[in-house]
Amino acid sequence: MRSKGVLYTDTQILVPFFDVDRMNVVWHGHYVKYLEIARCALLDKIGHNYTAMSESGYAWPVIDLQLRYIRGAQFGQTLNVRANLVEWENRLKINYLISDLETGERLTRGVSVQVAVDMSNREMQLASPKVFTDAVARALP
């Protein structure tokens, strides 16, 4: 069972024509872009987005990304992309659910994992920096 997470955000995306293939479904690689849009919205909600991360001296590369395609999204369809914060103390783990905004039908599930890297020495951190965990603590309900 997938963890529900402690904080989430929903982002709506209208599938543009240039994201679909000859079969009029979204090309599989574009789903990663949709997850990134939702992840950025979640980080904004936390109050510690990529700009703040960089200013604090840390990069957060994606080290794992998983997608499970259930049904293809189509041109003109409005998607809801939910990003759920699952882990943040040692790594940043986010669960995603892409669904049809109108019907709620599940289309794609995903998970991303990121870790903090100290940019001064390029060393991966075994725990998330305090500046990030403090931001999450402030954002929690």
Per the annotation, the verdict on 64 as an active-site residue is no
Q: pLDDT-derived band of residue 4, with 50, 70 and 90 as boundaries?
A: confident
Q: Decide: 66 and 86 in contact? Cβ < 8 Å.
A: no
Pairing of strands 78-87, 92-100: antiparallel
Pick the catalytic residue from 10, 19, 21, 134: 21
Residue 78 CB: number of other CB atoms within 10 A? 12
In 3D space, the residue among 62, 5, 12, 7 whose CA is nearest the CA of residue 37 turns out to be 12
pLDDT tens digits along 49-83:
999 999 999 999 999 999 999 999 999 999 999 99
Percent of the chain's residues with pLDDT above 90:
96
Q: Is the domain covering 7-139 a CATH 3.20.20.140 domain?
A: no
